[in-house]
Amino acid sequence: MDAHEQLSVLDTSCLQKFVDTLAVNGQYPLKAAGVDVLQMNICRKCNLFCKHCHVEAGPHRTEMMSKSLLEKCLDILRNNAISTIDITGGAPEINPYLEWFLDNASQLKRRLIVRSNLTLLLEDSYRHFIDSYVRNNVEIVTSLPHYKAEGTDKQRGKCAFATIIEVIKKLNARGYGKENSGLVLNLVHNPTGFYLPGSQPALAREYKSRLLKDHGVYFNDLFCITNMPVGRYLEHLQKTDSLSDYMTELVNAFNSAAAENVMCKNTLSVSYDGQLYDCDFNQMLELPTETNAHLDDFDIGTLSHRRIVLANHCYGCTAGSGSSCQGSTEKSEK
């Protein structure tokens, strides 16, 4: 499904309801309050083909951020006080300039995140990335939908769980996930069915104890992320005739406290071609920032106060405890 078809399936005519709900809570218009995170989607190619993928990434994709655009990102980061560089894909390691970029970006002394599916890191041509991640103090975020193999393999493909655990063992051996090592490994949980994630602190405790007991591995934090009705997950909802029920669940679970901290308020998403978006989901739906901004005309002043472009999928960020690339947006006691 292309972006246009996805938007028509999402029935943007119902967007007014989301706007009205925000307005009732004094949260409309939704505006950015700075740019603290530059999230760069540097390639849509991936070795996996996960069922929940909002990017619709896979081995067939070819889109890749060029070295000149990566250099442009470095220039922007050098010239602006953006605290976090968040690299995603596809599988970011497939971009041939990732290692070069990390060596340069780490000089800027910002928080440097790579969202890696980890499974490539067992292959000869990619295993050197573990050294690169350690050398550049990269924070690794990886998706592990469930702490049992069955739940993870159902979404990520056969044997994905075993491969991810094997790589986590290698990362643990280098210090990742160990308290006070400075090397951070965070996991992502997302539901394996058509429902909202459970409590993040409770799931974090469950993941920690089960992964340690069953596999001897450890990690720092768990981020719970709601499956967004975008990309392959949207197709899956449609094929199983579950879209209407799922959207109703998201709408009914609207939480103004979660809406207060949606990630677009401090994040800017960059596509492989340099186009700027309010978030990675808007990127996939081809909904650019209100001024249709590109890296070439990056203006932190304007972007820091931009009005966020909304559509029905935004209900995914505001439902229940809220959802973002850093997990729940409604912070609670651990």
Interacting residue with ligand SF4 among 89, 191, 288, 322 (CB under 6 A): 89
DSSP string of 264-315? GGTEEEE-TTSBEESSHHHHHTT-B-TT--BGGG--HHHHTTPBPP--GGGH
Query: In angstroms, rounded to a whole number, what is the distance separating the alpha carbons of residues 63 and 55?
Result: 11
- Contact present, 183 and 174 (Cβ < 8 Å): yes
Bond preceding residue 191 cis, omega within 30 of 0: no
**Between 71 and 249, CB nearer to ligand SF4:** 249
**Between 72 and 308, CB nearer to ligand SF4:** 308
**Between 12 and 181, CB nearer to ligand SF4:** 12
Q: Which two tokens stand for residue 155?
A: 């979404």
If you ran DSSP here, which 8-state letter would residue 261 be given?
A: T
313 part of the interface to ligand SF4, by CB under 6 A: yes
- Contact present, 207 and 164 (Cβ < 8 Å): no
Query: In angstroms, rounded to a whole number, what is the distance separating the alpha carbons of residues 311 and 292?
Result: 16
CB-based contacts of 56, cutoff 8 Å, min separation 6? 44, 231, 232, 284
| Footprint of ligand SF4 on 21-60 (CB under 6 A) | 46, 48-50, 53, 55, 57-58
Least separation in angstroms between CB 18 and ligand SF4: 9
**Between 204 and 264, CB nearer to ligand SF4:** 264
If you ran DSSP here, which 8-state letter would residue 120 be given?
A: G
What one-letter code names the amino acid at 44?
Answer: R
Opening angle at CA 315, ends 311 and 319, nearest 5: 170
| Of 203-211, 213-221, 248-256, 312-320: span binding ligand SF4 (CB under 6 A) | 312-320
234 part of the interface to ligand SF4, by CB under 6 A: no
Neighbours of 16 (CB within 10 A): 9
| Residues in binding contact with ligand SF4, number by CB under 6 A | 24
Least separation in angstroms between CB 164 and ligand SF4: 10
What one-letter code names the amino acid at 57?
Answer: A
Least separation in angstroms between CB 224 and ligand SF4: 15
Query: In angstroms, rounded to a whole number, what is the distance separating the alpha carbons of residues 176 and 169?
Result: 9
Least separation in angstroms between CB 51 and ligand SF4: 9
Interacting residue with ligand SF4 among 87, 144, 279, 319 (CB under 6 A): 279
288 part of the interface to ligand SF4, by CB under 6 A: no
DSSP string of 90-101? S-GGGSTTHHHH
Q: Which of 295, 322, 291 is nearest to 309 (CA)?
A: 291
**Between 160 and 183, CB nearer to ligand SF4:** 160
90 part of the interface to ligand SF4, by CB under 6 A: yes
**Between 57 and 204, CB nearer to ligand SF4:** 57
263 part of the interface to ligand SF4, by CB under 6 A: yes
Interacting residue with ligand SF4 among 70, 264, 268, 270 (CB under 6 A): 264
Least separation in angstroms between CB 321 and ligand SF4: 14
Q: Which of 208, 193, 219, 71 is nearest to 139 (CA)?
A: 219
- x-or-dash pattern for ligand SF4, window 113-152, by CB under 6 A? ----x-----------------------------------
| Footprint of ligand SF4 on 315-334 (CB under 6 A) | 317
Least separation in angstroms between CB 54 and ligand SF4: 8
Query: In angstroms, rounded to a whole number, what is the distance separating the alpha carbons of residues 181 and 89?
Result: 27
Q: Which two tokens stand for residue 56?
A: 């619709």
**Between 74 and 194, CB nearer to ligand SF4:** 194
Q: What residues make contact with ligand SF4 under the rule CB under 6 A? A: 46, 48-50, 53, 55, 57-58, 89-91, 117, 262-264, 278-279, 281-282, 308, 310, 313-314, 317
